[in-house]
Structure 1
Amino acid sequence: MTARSGLGVQQRRSLVLVGSLAWLAGMVAMVAAEHGGFVDLAVYRFGGLSVLDDLPLYELGEAGTGLPFTYPPFAALLMTGPALLPFPLAVGLWTSISVLALAVTITLLLASHGRPRSSYVVPGLVLGALAFEPIWANLLFGQVNLLLMAAILVDLLGPGRRWSGALIGLVAGIKLTPLVFVVFLVLIGRRHQAAIAGLTFLVTVALGFALLPLASSAYWSHVLWDPGRVGGVPYSSNQSVLGGLTRLAGGEPSTAVWFLVAGAIAGPVLLLAARTWRRGDPALATCVAAIAMLLASPISWSHHWAWAVPTAIVLARSGRRWAAASWSLVFVSGCIWWPPHRDDLELAWSPLQQAVGNAYLWAALALVLLLARTRAAVRTEASEPVGVER
């Protein structure tokens, strides 16, 4: 048997295993949906149903949860598909597709460091990823983050295509925070892809105005700027700079203070990501850019931190095993839920509770400092004349 045919067998076996995992997850989710849950997917379907039934998209809340639709009108147009399906079937398909998206993410990351030798690596890592709190939170809520993450990585780490960048623009039309990656594309010199991403995003906005003019006017004029629609900023699930500042200060800071602090942190992190890319580590650079996005966003719920899994894989594959283990421990433990939370109890946390309840934020800042320090050490070492004693 040739190496090529052996590789084909491995790939087929891996695909069968991953497909079986996705199918099993979908079946379990479909049964569980008969008893409730999957609240975010219910809100997505509410957005789709509002479009189909010509109902006000942003004036009502989903009947079962009372939660409003908070995404751009273009996202509601896409959600008409799930809205046409019975809820359990929509949950089952959504869960299966989310698991497949996770497998795509892992495959792209592994390929960036050399093809895995075993057909069990990708399925094994998919199973292991389910232990991360942000991942199982995505699946339990029926969130969209795993699909968005895979699309971004296809554009950045996948084979180059004429329309590379379009997926980033598309997902930015669903959830605005991926616009950070348009800036990232500019910083790494991929200005053509950045232009495609920006143009695609504008097309999603234009489609919203063309097909849902009233909803689009409402969204871009005032819904987008209303933080109360998204949820409580102090809530422990919000592991952004704004969330951390609010809990530490015992109250939400002014917009100016948030912009100043978040910009002073997220800006250098994005620059570090660009330098990491230019240094020849695109996978790690993409993860660092995602961390900048999560830090800068006013709301970064724990399920938005699905990027914890790619980061752990990249750290381990690049030889930073202690960092990968420490990072994984934080996100597998889900320790942000240990202190008292809900009903603004977070505003009265003790110093120890602040340390534990803001753990995702602290882990991200610690990792960025570690990477920046490592890069500085490498640069200093490279600049020393040959023969200098150290």
Structure 2
Amino acid sequence: MESSRSARRLVLALAVGVGLWCALLAWRWDWFIDLRVYELGASALFGGDLYDVRFHVADLPFTYPPFAAVLMLPVAVLPLWLTAALWSAACVLVLAWAIHATLEAGGSTYPAMVVPVLTAVALLSQPVWSTLSYGQVNLFLMAAILADVLRPERRHAGWLVGIAAGIKLTPLFFVAFLLVVGQRRAAGVAVGSFAATVLVGAALAPTASVAYWTEILWDPSRIGGVEYAGNQSVLGTLSRLLGHEASTSLWFVVAGSVAALSLVAAALLWRSTSPAARPLAVGMAALGMVLASPISWDHHWVWFVPIVLALWLSGLPRARVVAGAVVVIAASRAIWWAPFRNGVEYDWNLWQGLSGNLYVLTAVGLVLLGVGWGGRVQHVSNEEHLLHK
């Protein structure tokens, strides 16, 4: 009991320390660009120009659904240094919770001090640090999804997936995950809560809602160049390999195939009799979501954290070796080793292409391994079922 209290104090101290450091960065330097875009969007919510205003750094517009701007309203009334402090501290806390939830779901009996240690280590990974430095929302979305899908049998399971999708549409992929693992009720709840976010946005900002769902959503130029090295998605990788932006049909076929394979892996692992396979199943679905999205910036890959833990706990052949490799990749910043920006990614050579597309290549490899592992655990589960007949 005392060790648990000490571990919680350490996590809180880590969160406070990171929050204070980020407050200093916000006060002295031009950091937290995305957090400032959230602030801009919230400030413009009721002015009718939500999707017309742009942040002066890199001419960035607000690109999320109106519901996201509604949730960001508190950001608009606080000074940036205080917002950065509270936001960053909260990111550390939800990261620690996500680590705890993944370990618990995997059936691990771990010392309490493991969570603060792993949280501190995870903060050093490139996707997590990028999330903090931009003031991004990814860790909150990941935690919300994990809370729902790791325990889908709960009465109201699914509603957090719908809320997360109301903030950023890509979590809708987990509706498909819930369906393939047989959690139809949770999938229905997710769709219902997502619809509620659309209605809230429409009620509070009707003009902006019409603009978003009819125009803004379908305008990829607002998000950024697909070839940019930070876009670690199937579309980004295909475009860099081809030397020009990949066609919609090619992207749809390749990304759709990879996403389907991720769901196959997730379904096979989820049906295993081993509880340790469930967090890995969720990780497989997360990989499918991030790969299939047309734009997946480096900070969207915070899912590497629970995936590494799930691999470590799974007991699958060579899974711990793979987990170690993912840790190295996530910490290495390899996707930034090659030249980037202003379209130079179209001219990468072989080695630059390997490092610059490393998140995507790693994720595709993990999905393929997941299918193989899923088939293995399903075979073992079937044999155990026969033995107990």
TM-score of the superposed pair, with normalisation by structure 1? 0.93
**Equivalence map 1:46-65=2 (5 Å):** 46-51=40-45, 54-65=47-58
Query: Secondary structure of 2:86's partner?
Result: helix
Match of 1:283 in 2: 279
| Deviation of 1:339 (Å) | 0.4
Amino acid at match of 1:349: W
Amino acid at match of 1:237: G
| Deviation of 1:162 (Å) | 2.4
Unaligned runs of 5+ in 2: 384-389
1:302 to 2:298 alignment: yes
Match of 2:66 in 1: 73
Alignment check: 8 A CA contact 2:232 2:360 kept? yes
TM-score of the superposed pair, with normalisation by structure 2? 0.93
**Equivalence map 1:136-215=2 (5 Å):** 136-158=129-151, 160-215=153-208
How far apart, CA to CA, are the structure 2 residues paired with 1:74 and 1:81? 13
Distance 1:256 1:63, change over 3 A: same
Query: Secondary structure of 1:260's partner?
Result: helix
Match of 2:289 in 1: 293
1:85 to 2:81 alignment: no
Alignment check: 8 A CA contact 2:166 2:198 kept? yes
How far apart, CA to CA, are the structure 1 residues paired with 2:382 and 2:25? 59
| Deviation of 1:258 (Å) | 1.0
Alignment check: 8 A CA contact 1:39 1:65 kept? no
Match of 2:372 in 1: 373
Query: Secondary structure of 1:284's partner?
Result: helix
Distance 1:65 1:242, change over 3 A: closer
Deviation string, structure 1 residues 336-381 (Cα, Å, up to 9, x no partner): 0000000011000001111111000111111122222233455667
Amino acid at match of 1:48: A
Alignment check: 8 A CA contact 1:336 1:356 kept? yes
Alignment check: 8 A CA contact 2:153 2:183 kept? no
Deviation string, structure 1 residues 150-195 (Cα, Å, up to 9, x no partner): 0110112258532111100000000000000011111111111111
**Which of 312, 315, 322 is matched with 2:311 structurally?**
315
| Deviation of 1:115 (Å) | 4.8
Amino acid at match of 2:225: G
- Identity over aligned pairs, percent: 45
Alignment check: 8 A CA contact 1:108 1:158 kept? no
Deviation string, structure 1 residues 83-142 (Cα, Å, up to 9, x no partner): 110011000000000010101100001111235442210000001101210000000000
**Equivalence map 1:1-390=2 (5 Å):** 8-34=1-27, 35-51=29-45, 54-158=47-151, 160-280=153-273, 281-319=277-315, 320-377=319-376
Match of 1:3 in 2: none
Alignment check: 8 A CA contact 2:266 2:370 kept? no
How far apart, CA to CA, are the structure 2 residues paired with 1:49 and 1:225? 24
| Deviation of 1:383 (Å) | 8.1
Distance 1:219 1:191, change over 3 A: same
How far apart, CA to CA, are the structure 2 residues paired with 1:338 and 1:198? 40
Alignment check: 8 A CA contact 1:164 1:193 kept? yes
How far apart, CA to CA, are the structure 1 residues paired with 2:161 and 2:88? 22
Alignment check: 8 A CA contact 2:175 2:190 kept? yes
Unaligned runs of 5+ in 1: 1-7, 385-390
Amino acid at match of 2:359: Y
Deviation string, structure 1 residues 184-235 (Cα, Å, up to 9, x no partner): 1111111111111100000000111111010000000010011110011000
How far apart, CA to CA, are the structure 1 residues paired with 2:382 and 2:265? 19
Match of 2:387 in 1: none
- Higher mean C-alpha deviation, range 229-238 or range 364-373: 364-373
Amino acid at match of 2:160: L
Alignment check: 8 A CA contact 1:208 1:216 kept? yes
How far apart, CA to CA, are the structure 1 residues paired with 2:376 and 2:5? 43
Alignment check: 8 A CA contact 1:50 1:56 kept? yes
RMSD of Structure 2 on Structure 1 (CA): 1.6
Amino acid at match of 1:125: L
Alignment check: 8 A CA contact 2:44 2:53 kept? no
How far apart, CA to CA, are the structure 2 residues paired with 1:260 and 1:10? 51
Alignment check: 8 A CA contact 1:315 1:324 kept? yes
Alignment check: 8 A CA contact 2:290 2:296 kept? yes
| Deviation of 1:254 (Å) | 1.3
How far apart, CA to CA, are the structure 2 residues paired with 1:248 and 1:276? 32
